[in-house]
Structure 1
Amino acid sequence: MIIDGVEMRGVEVGDAGGLADVLARNRVYMAPFEPWRSEVFFTKEGQVARIEALLAERDGGRLAPYVLVEAATGAPVGTINLGSISLGPFRSGGVGYWVDQAWAGKGLATAALEEVCRIARDEIGLHRVEAGTLVDNVASQRVLAKAGFEQYGLAPRYLHINGAWRDHRLFQRLLHDDPPL
């Protein structure tokens, strides 16, 4: 349990229907922060294809995808992914997350981010985790700050979000200073 009533576990193809439902329900809420998505993305079939791609990335050691589920029902309420995993001397990864609007502001994203950083450090052996937010996404910036991330830069026209190339604030959390294994 990462927060009262919610568990974090590896995503599975069986999560596709629940993820399609919660994503469709949060479509308008998340639109200002997300890339354009086709209609298929918001269907069970679209989520099956997406999850299969995530699992292939996981199997290649490049991604650790997780789903946040209500403990009582198993219903998804968000996801968090540690991607772009690079080992060797870099030992870094990037994190992306979202939570259902009904769970926003309750500490869920912060708890999930802290758990992913623990996994990145203790299980994968990463030195750092990075994240980016839209310049005006103050809520996500607060989540990152609460989880020990520090802003280290600004990336102009970094990602194509909601129909345009958008500037992003870049954050990182250094996990340890041990030499690479």
Structure 2
Amino acid sequence: MNDTTHGIRIRPGSLADAPAILDMLDGAVAWMNGRGNTEQWGTTPYSQRPGGVARVEGYTTENAPYIAELDGRPVGALVLGSGPNPQVPIAPAGEPERYVRLLVSDRRYAGRGIGAALLDHAADETRRAGVELLRVDCWAGGGGELVAFYERNNFEPTDRFLVKEWPGQVLARRVG
């Protein structure tokens, strides 16, 4: 499938995309740290974390990965699963759902609507699957900017959770 929004092409991803996704995650950690945010993802590049590479490879082989491209260059990644990450204490939805397991964009292309385009693609994929609920969880700390981003993209906050000192927020979007 080739969705195109604002020059962004979204295609199915694969294991071959893992290095590009890891580069985006490493860039996101550096970008957050540069803004003084060390609580969300810490300070260690994602590719150097214990299990980081294997986790991304698993995302691309055990779920539905999608890659956003601009001019043939990967600039964003979305991973859809059928439920939340097992390591996060989130209650089941009680109905079929699609779950955003990962959303990341290349910070060098910030402001171009990459994340929004990937979330719209997730909503379309959810609808095509005959499922009405799309959920995501995110960091709820700092000034709440990440929660606000999802709210701007038609998600509504539902449950909050805590993993050690890490505050999280679950958000839901009805796509039926």
Q: Does 1:129 align with 2:131?
A: no
Q: Which residue of 2 aligns with 1:108?
A: 114
Q: Which residue of 2 aligns with 1:79?
A: 77
Q: Distance in 2 between matches of 1:121 and 1:15?
A: 25
Kindly report the root-mean-square deviation, in angstroms, between the aligned alpha carbons of the 2 structures.
Answer: 3.0
For the pair shown, the structure with the greater C-alpha radius of gyration is 1
**Match among 146, 152, 164 for residue 146 of structure 1:** 152
- Structure 1 gap segments, 5+ residues each: 58-62, 177-181
* TM-score in terms of structure 1 length: 0.69
Distance 1:132 1:35, change over 3 A: farther
Q: Which residue of 1 aligns with 2:87?
A: none
Q: Please report how far the alpha carbon of residue 146 of structure 1 lies from its aligned counterpart in structure 2 after TM superposition.
A: 2.3
Q: Distance in 1 between matches of 2:56 and 2:168?
A: 26
Q: Which residue of 2 aligns with 1:166?
A: 166
Q: Please report how far the alpha carbon of residue 173 of structure 1 lies from its aligned counterpart in structure 2 after TM superposition.
A: 0.8
- Structure 2 gap segments, 5+ residues each: 33-37, 85-93
Q: Deviations over 1:42-76 (max 9, x none)?
A: 6xxx75x556523441xxxxx22111222x2x222
Q: Deviations over 1:67-124 (max 9, x none)?
A: 1222x2x2221211111349xx7111211311111222332211210111111112x1
Q: Please report how far the alpha carbon of residue 35 of structure 1 lies from its aligned counterpart in structure 2 after TM superposition.
A: 7.0
Count of matched residue pairs: 156
* TM-score in terms of structure 2 length: 0.71
* Aligned-residue identity in percent: 22
Q: Secondary structure at the match of 1:76?
A: strand
Query: Bigger CA drift: 27-36 or 113-122?
Result: 27-36
